[in-house]
Amino acid sequence: MTVEEAIAVAVAEKMSRELDDDYVELWSLPWYVRQDWPTASDEKVRYLCGSILRALTSTDVVLGDLDFNTGKFSPWKIDDPVDRAMAMWLQLGRDPTMGEIAWLSRTR
């Protein structure tokens, strides 16, 4: 297993544990990756995060929006939510922060 694969597995497990308890904001994904891989370039972080998102959303995790007033989660009803999230991230020109892009939710 490569270093990148080991980091992806570790970060996916951290995200999955968080998702067992609550919604998780997308910004936490690059935060975890950068904690485990501080020397990674922005491009490598985005690539690895995209891979992790694809793995999570291929199981029981969805991307969407969270209404702060009601606490209601609304999944994105589009063909490829990961592509949308990653395009929005690229458009930011930096890692997302709190309140930007999307939330993740476990569907089970």
Residue-wise burial string across 24-61, b where 16 or more C-beta atoms lie within 10 A, e elsewhere: bbbbbbbbbbbebbeebeeeebbbbbbbbbebbbeeeb
Residue 68's pLDDT band, with cuts at 50, 70 and 90, is: confident
Q: Specify the pLDDT at position 43.
A: 96
Portion of the chain with pLDDT greater than 90, in percent: 92
* 1-29 confidence digits (pLDDT tens): 899 999 999 999 999 999 999 999 999 99
pLDDT at 108: 76
Check residue 16 and give its pLDDT.
95
| End-to-end CA gap in the chain | 30
Q: Backbone phi, then psi, for 69, in 5-degree steps?
A: -75, -40
| Percentage of the residues of the chain whose pLDDT score is greater than 70 | 100
Domains of the chain: 3-106 (1.10.3510)
Q: Any residues with CB less than 8 A from the CB of 7 and at least 6 apart, and which?
A: 33, 36, 37, 48
Q: What is the pTM of this model?
A: 0.92
